[in-house]
Amino acid sequence: MIPADGWFTRAQYGAEASQAAFLIVQHAADLPTRKALLPRLRPLAERGEIDGGDYARLYDRTIIWDGGRQRYGTQFNCVDGRIQPQPLEDPARVEDLRAALRMPQTYADALKAHAGRAC
């Protein structure tokens, strides 16, 4: 169902369709499918043709499921009844990586938003 030209960009399909496609892939696609899509989607996210936050969440979830550490700091889990961030690949670069994708919230703000929250 993926378009022949690569993906559901905002300009061609609209923001709602683009995000819906990400949600379907993130929640329903298998790991090999997600891994295959990531190289195709990264340049689109960097150019703003798709939502950078959607790409970041898909990337982080895929890498974590594959046994790695998240890059963009979008994934949290429950530890001892509290929400905790998943380990980062490069904590010193996370803010710059998020900014490169035009993510509206910094990692520091994401941490504050989840601080002390029960799960």
Q: Is the pLDDT of residue 91 over 80?
A: yes
Which of 1-5, 61-65, 102-106, 107-111 is least confident?
Answer: 1-5
> What confidence tier does 116 reach under pLDDT thresholds 50, 70, 90?
confident
pLDDT reported for residue 3? 84
**HEC sequence for the chain:** CCCCCCCCCHHHHCHHHHHHHHHHHHHHCCHHHHHHHHHHHHHHHHCCCCCHHHHHHHHHHHHHHCCCCECCCCCEEEECCEEEECCECCCCCHHHHHHHCCCCCCHHHHHHHHCCCEC
> In the chain, what are the domain boundaries?
10-114
Q: Is the pLDDT of residue 1 over 80?
A: no
pLDDT reported for residue 6? 80
Q: Is the pLDDT of residue 17 over 80?
A: yes
